[in-house]
Amino acid sequence: MNSLFELDEQLIKLQFEASSREEVTTYLAGRLEAGGYIKSSFLPAVLEREKTYPTGLPLAAFGVAIPHTDPEHVNKPAISVATLKEPVIFHKMGSPDETVQAKIVFVLAISEPSKQLVMLEKLMTLFRKEEVMTKLSHMTSYEEAVDVLQQELNQ
């Protein structure tokens, strides 16, 4: 399979208890850094970018967020995902004055600008699948979460 990015159980945290967007983003970036996917400059760049270009997206059932930054901070492509016990507030993409209660956070480590659009399109397609997203938000099986995400995003 020719995959766009790496995704394994080490990059996923289910039912995470985070109190802020910074906490969940820091945790997921830590997972990426431990796996060698990103450079140490990634997290500060993501947090800074989020201030100017927020990534919260309201969906039908709940919100999601897709924090990411420039490819120069990435060693190899991957996605780190957290489902949250309780949503955290992200500012809304395109409308920074509005907020989104994000229940799932996808930290994107994209190494090639040409693949960023492809990945965002795949995520948007997934986000429109309300049943899959709701199922994902309640999962407790890491194996099942990896299977669903691989099936939806890496085809």
Q: Quick check: is 22 in a domain?
A: yes
Looking at residue 46, its amino acid is V
Q: Quick check: is 155 in a domain?
A: no
Q: 36-94, pLDDT tens digit by residue? A: 999 999 999 999 999 999 999 999 989 999 999 999 999 999 999 999 999 999 999 99
Q: Quick check: is 133 in a domain?
A: yes
- Residue 78 belongs to a domain with what CATH number? 3.40.930.10
Q: Quick check: is 3 in a domain?
A: no
Q: Quick check: is 2 in a domain?
A: no
| Whether pLDDT at 3 is above 80 | no
Q: 81-124, pLDDT tens digit by residue? A: 999 999 999 999 999 999 999 999 999 999 888 888 888 899 99
Q: Which domain holds residue 114?
A: 9-149
Please state the domain count of the chain: 1
| 94, 123 Cβ separation under 8 angstroms | no
State the Cα–Cα distance between residues 78 and 104, nearest whole angstrom: 16
Q: Quick check: is 4 in a domain?
A: no
- The SS3 call for residue 74 is strand
State the Cα–Cα distance between residues 33 and 31, nearest whole angstrom: 6
Q: Quick check: is 132 in a domain?
A: yes
φ, ψ for residue 102, nearest 5 deg = -85, 125
Q: Quick check: is 83 in a domain?
A: yes
At residue 5, the pLDDT reads 76
Report pTM.
0.95
